[in-house]
Amino acid sequence: MSDDRRGGVHAADSAALALDEGDISPEARTAILRLMAEIDRLRAEIAANNRRIAYLEEVADRDPLTPTVNRRAFVRELERAKAYADRYKSPAAIIYIDIDDMKSINDRFGHAAGDEVLQAVARTLIGNVRSSDVVGRLGGDEFGVILAHADRLAAEEKASSLSKLIADIQIGPTESELRVAATYGVQTLGAAEDAAAVLESADRAMYARKRKADEGRSRN
């Protein structure tokens, strides 16, 4: 029901209440009052349903473990950001982040500690990007960050900064502290055909960086 229609119903309500008893029969007045009560009930039911739908949509978009959006919601936001960037020629980028050695963390410290790492990384990402940016958990130990109004240079700088902040995360007591590290890949939104291609390119860039780091460690 549109605002105009709702306004019309309110006007009708007021007009009905303003009628003198002599203007209409008692039966008609009773019917009008019953109709008005039913309209009020329906309004309350619609408002409650809208609140319920909004809650369910929010729950459906949330990652079950971390305070980020899930992959489905992230991809949807990436599609929107891609469309906006293409239409307005506005720079935007994505950072694809993979937590290093997550299996070793789970094996050595337990899955509860692994979950704590994921939560700490999520909080670090959310706390160090703008409200216009989007942080999502893409699955397992992988996260994504959509950076609005950011070219490749800005995205690389932000990715490097976030990587250093993740490396500062410490989990557990000092004598057996768990140190966290992550590898990232960057892709601008305008350089790919669609959102899926953006995500795939950022993923490949992340794995290329990881391979390069592994090769450097093996040579040393």
* Residue 216 structure tokens: 């450097």
- Residues marked as catalytic: 141
Of 89, 102, 187, give the one whose Cα is nearest residue 144: 187
Helix (H, G, I), strand (E, B) or coil at 137: strand
Dihedral pair phi/psi, residue 98, rounded to 5°: -125, 125
CB 183 within 8 A of CB 212: no
Of 133, 141, 135, 96, give the one whose Cα is nearest residue 116: 141
Cβ contacts of 165-169, under 8 Å, gap ≥ 24: 165/124, 165/128, 166/97, 166/99, 166/121, 166/124, 169/117, 169/120, 169/121, 169/124
Helix (H, G, I), strand (E, B) or coil at 134: strand
To which residue do tokens 């039913």 refer? Answer: 38
